[in-house]
Chain A
Amino acid sequence: AQKVTQAQTEISVVEKEDVTLDCVYETRDTTYYLFWYKQPPSGELVFLIRRNSFDEQNEISGRYSWNFQKSTSSFNFTITASQVVDSAVYFCALSTQGGSEKLVFGKGTKLTVNP
């Protein structure tokens, strides 16, 4: 069975601080995919990144970076120099091969960035 754990329920930071959101996953499959989605207060789900299990390269996109470590089954997300607009709920998710690509989500981390 697949499982995603986001141990941090809520995080509060002050603008310009760096913040890391943790994600730990469980799967017995050797081929799998990891995702991060953002859900701002308006409620929609915004796709941020997809990583496959064979690509452990870290990725940076502007102020966002992702650290994928298979050895610890983690896919952590860091926001550098946080801004108020980063306030949202962030979900980590996992899918495995099998023809349906359905996602298993973590419970989410609510990030509040205060001015």
Chain B
Amino acid sequence: NAGVTQTPKFRVLKTGQSMTLLCAQDMNHEYMYWYRQDPGMGLRLIHYSVGEGTTAKGEVPDGYNVSRLKKQNFLLGLESAAPSQTSVYFCASSYSAQSRDRGNQPQHFGDGTRLSIL
């Protein structure tokens, strides 16, 4: 019963390094999201995807790229990490077209990735 799985859970990078965060969901959800959580700021949407092969910008997209090549995976990339990107990153997924409740469905969150940029 995995739900939403984020890899890695922790990472320390040096400024300028690149890395990719992986999010995988096994609920056949159409929509996937990447949020960042900073102290006193709540969660803010970075990028999201409403289906395989589609992505869109959220509230704070600068410095990040995403890809959704497979329905179950949503990758978040940092091309050149900056200290301002030190944060906890959460992936989420929602909406199954097969669900009986076609109305708005709750987002299911991964456990988060704690990323520090030195």
B88 close to chain A: CB less than 8 A: yes
Q: Which residues of chain B come closer than 8 Å to A50, judged between CB atoms?
A: 104-106
Taking a contact as CB atoms under 8 Å apart, the answer to whether A101 and B42 are in contact is no
Residues in B with CB closer than 8 Å to A47 are 106-109
Give the residue of A37, A43, A106 whose beta carbon is less than 8 angstroms from that of B88.
Answer: A43
**Complexed CA–CA distance, A47 and B3 (Å):** 13
Chain A residues with Cβ under 8 A from B33's Cβ? Answer: 102-103
Partner of B40 from the list A43, A101, A107 (CB cut-off 8 Å) is A107
Considering the chains assembled together, what is the distance between the CA atoms of A47 and B45 in angstroms? 17
Is B74's CB within 8 Å of the partner chain A?
no
Interface string of A29-73 (1 = CB under 8 A from B): 000010101000001110100101000000000000000000000
Known contacts: A43-B111, A105-B44. The answer to whether A99 contacts B50 by CB under 8 A is yes
Of residues 66 to 84 in A, which have CB atoms within 8 Å of B's CB atoms? none
Nearest residue (CB) in A for B43 is A105
Contact B106 A100, beta carbon cutoff 8 Å = no
CB closest chain-A residue, reference B88: A43
Most buried by B among A35, A43, A47, A97: A43
Q: Which of B54-99 contact A (CB under 8 A)?
A: 56, 58, 88, 90, 92, 94-95
Residue numbers in B under 8 Å from A35 (CB-CB)? 106
B55 → chain A, closest Cβ, in Å?
A: 11
Q: Is the interface of B mostly helix, strand, loop or mixed?
A: strand
Asked whether A101 lies within 8 Å of B95 as measured between CB atoms, the reply is yes
Give bound CA distance, A108 to B48, whole Å: 22
B40, A103: Cβ atoms closer than 8 Å: no
Q: How far is the CA of A47 from the CA of B108 in the complex (A)?
A: 8
25 residue pairs bridging A and B, Cβ less than 8 Å apart: A33-B104, A35-B106, A43-B111, A45-B109, A47-B106, A50-B106, A52-B103, A97-B104, A99-B50, A100-B50, A101-B94, A101-B95, A101-B105, A102-B31, A102-B45, A102-B58, A103-B33, A103-B43, A103-B45, A103-B92, A103-B107, A104-B45, A105-B42, A106-B42, A107-B40
Q: Which residues of B contact A (CB under 8 A)?
A: 31, 33, 35, 40-45, 48, 50, 56, 58, 88, 90, 92, 94-95, 103-109, 111-112
